[in-house]
Amino acid sequence: MKNHILSAFRLTLVMLVIVGIYLGVVYAGSKILPTQGNAEIINYKGQKFYANIGQNFRSLKYFHGRPSAVDYNASGSAGSNKGPSNEEYLQTVQKRIDTLKMQNPEMQNEKVPVELVTASGSGLDPDISPEGALYQIKRIAKIRNLSAEKLEDLIKNQTENTLFGPSKVNVLKLNIALNDLK
């Protein structure tokens, strides 16, 4: 019995050291990032926004991001936990597709980018693909009386190409740049 307790105690100490070293490496690594491991805060017209948390843009004059399973509530980050064989989930996605096509009637025959109708694992994804942004151009160009080419350039300028993974567009930054267009 005494042998087992001593072994368990030693293992606990070893694991504490390993986990402590790991946490130290992760913390030090975060400090070399541009935001130093903190939220990316954008001050715009006297308001504070967090660029790394998805925002809900309801107005048709803005680009829309991914749907949220938690209604964009950062304190309750979660996915829907429903798979592609769940009937309720399929109905929800179909409603989102129908709404998206109603909002973008010029795109009726175009393939809908998946991120515009499915929520992310956290429910707070701030980014969409460049294709997701391009899908919405005609609607925004018509409402804002802008050329599609100008909006394409805006999307191209706001697209972040990553070393690993696909290109992405931060919807908050894109909409702020859209507001600042002359």
Residue matched to tokens 């100490």: 13
Report which of 128, 91, 135, 95 is spatially closest to residue 112, judged by C-alpha positions.
135
In this prediction, residues 39-60 reach a mean pLDDT of 89
Q: To which H or E segment does residue 96 belong? A: helix 87-103
Percent pLDDT > 90 in the chain is 63
Decide: helix, strand or coil at residue 122: coil
Chain mean position to CA 105: 25
Q: Could you give the 3-state DSSP secondary structure of residue 14?
A: helix
Q: What is the average per-residue pLDDT within 102-130?
A: 90
Using the predicted structure, report yes or no on whether residue 67 has a pLDDT greater than 80.
Answer: yes
- Amino acid 122: pLDDT: 81
pLDDT of residue 63: 97
CA distances from 29 to 18, 24, 32, 40, 51 (A): 16, 8, 6, 17, 21
Q: Which residues contact 19 (CB under 8 A, 6 or more apart)?
A: none
- The pTM of the whole model exceeds 0.85: no
The pLDDT of residue 84 is: 84
